[in-house]
Amino acid sequence: MRFVDEYRDPDLARALSAQIAALTEPGRHYKVMEVCGGHTHAIYRYGVHDLLPDNIELVHGPGCPVCVIPMGRVDDGIAIAEQPGVILTCFGDMMRVPGGRGSFLEANARGADIRMVYSPLDALRIARENPDRQVVFSAIGFETTAPSTALTVLRAEQEGVENFSVMCSHVTIIPAIKAILDSPDLRLDAFIGPGHVSTVIGCRPYEFIAREHGKPVVCAGFEPLDVLQSVHMIMRQLAESRCEVENQYGRVVRWDGNPLALKALSQVFELRPFFEWRGLGSIPQSALRFTAGYARFDAEQRFELPGVQVADPKACQCGEVLKGVLKPWECKVFGTACTPETPIGTCMVSSEGACAAYYNYGQYSRQRLDLQVL
């Protein structure tokens, strides 16, 4: 398949692996954070970590959209869904995220009308088809997903659909990276930047990481050779004592991102003063809310929400996993009480979550794909 097979070439993978090893300094331990859950998934799925020397450690970051949703937001969604005449819609993995009062899936079983959608545009279609019901879209995700919500709201306005609103839990990646850089728990050497978020925001927003923190960033694609090449680019920067933002995913990502998507985002959304992230706590200006011009589509204004903070279960160590302080298998309940079938923490819900990725493709493998590379 064009644009796929060439990024899974075993000979190229072996050559890159050898070049990476040659760039490492003996006795030095390197920690590279892949920010995006999509990279975590690719690394475990294709066994990319097995192609790296022992002294390069890949640390999993907070870029899994459902993993960072705090339990209180799930409860807020359930509170909306339980109101008469409401249809709550959400993406697939959100159905299984545990809240203080269970998951959306469990609320559905109790009688709430909660429906899974592939796109926010599907939620708008449901609103058109059910003019006597209030249809709410529970929006999650980083800058990859937020433009699709913004576009849907613009279409709802254009079409005059009044029974549609959005519970907005969209978050932004840069403040989360800043929180990790400010964390005393973790020493990192470099970042693999999120490929699809960068399609929207571009590479420029990461420049402060190189300039102010002295750490290389390489925006990367999601095929195994993309990840390997990004590690190679990072190792070359470190070997040459350079700190720059580089774009490995040039076939998709433009340096300044997608201006039409950014325009839609700024038209519909603005930054919240604070937002609670699971594991990272409250981070200023790290999430989106509606601008005054589109506030009538804000489900948080249309419905009364409990807005209660709910503490994570004591046994769950998702917070440490999300910050890269703990590896998935170091969590006390990993693979025992917490599995993809019965997740306690969010990192076990989404396949992009570090725990689920490791559970599915790591030593607890149910169906690890043999990386044809090996």
- Residue ranges binding another protein (CB under 8 A): 1, 3, 36-38, 41, 63-66, 91-94, 116, 118-122, 140-142, 144-145, 147-148, 151, 154-155, 194, 196-197, 199-200, 222, 250-255, 258, 260-261, 264, 350-352, 356, 360, 367
Structure tokens at 313: 């279960």
Using the minimum distance from each CB to another protein, give the nearer residue, 265 or 373: 265
With a CB cutoff of 8 Å and minimum separation 6, the contacts of 371 are 13, 46, 47, 48, 50, 224
Give the residue with the Cβ less far from another protein, 21 or 252.
252
Our CB check for another protein shows the closer of 4 and 132 to be: 4
Nearer to another protein, 154 or 243 (CB): 154
Residue 352 identity: E
Least Å distance between CB 294 and another protein? 16
Q: How far is the CB of 195 from another protein (least distance, A)?
A: 8
- Residues paired with 137 in a beta bridge: 89, 166
Between 40 and 163, name the residue whose CB sits nearer to another protein.
40
Distances (CA, A) of 362 to 8, 40, 208, 229, 336: 19, 11, 34, 22, 15
Shortest distance, CB of residue 340 to another protein, whole angstroms? 9
Q: Which is nearer to another protein, 63 or 362 (CB)?
A: 63
Question: Which distant-in-sequence residues (6+ apart) come within 8 Å of 249 by Cβ?
Answer: 195, 198, 219, 220, 221, 226
**Residue 85 backbone zone (phi > 0: left; psi -120 to 50: alpha; other: beta):** left
In the complex, least distance from residue 251 CB atom to another protein, rounded to whole angstroms? 5
How is 266-327 classified by DSSP, letter by letter? HHHEEE-SEEEETTTEEEET-BEEE-GGGGGGBHHHHS-------PPPTT--HHHHHTTSS-
CB of 369 to another protein, least distance (A): 10
For 321, residues 6+ apart whose C-beta sits below 8 A from its C-beta are 60, 279, 327, 328, 331, 345, 347, 354, 355
Picking from 118, 166, 184, 108, the residue whose alpha carbon sits closest to that of residue 300 is 166
Backbone dihedral region of 89: left (phi > 0), alpha (psi from -120 to 50 degrees) or beta? beta
Q: Would you tell me how many other CB atoms lie within 10 Å of the CB of residue 13?
A: 22
The residue type of 102 is G
Residue 338 phi/psi, 5-degree rounding, is: -110, 110
Pick between residue 17 and residue 351 the one whose CB is nearest to another protein: 351
* CB closer to another protein out of 202 and 216: 202
* Strand partners for 334: 338
Q: How far is the CB of 256 from another protein (least distance, A)?
A: 8
| Edge-to-edge strand ranges of the sheet holding 134-141 | 114-116, 86-90, 134-141, 164-170
Residue 267 Cβ, how far from another protein at the closest point, in Å? 12
Residue 2 Cβ vs another protein, minimum distance, rounded to whole Å: 8
Please identify, using beta-carbon distances, which residue of 220 and 235 lies nearer to another protein: 220
Q: Measured on CA atoms in the order 189, 248, 236, 361, is the torsion positive or negative?
A: positive
Q: How far is the CB of 243 from another protein (least distance, A)?
A: 23
**Minimum distance from CB of 31 to another protein (Å)?**
23
Q: Would strands 86-90 and 269-271 be described as parallel, antiparallel, or unpaired?
A: unpaired
Nearer to another protein, 47 or 147 (CB): 147
Rounded Cα–Cα distance for residues 354 and 67 (Å) = 9
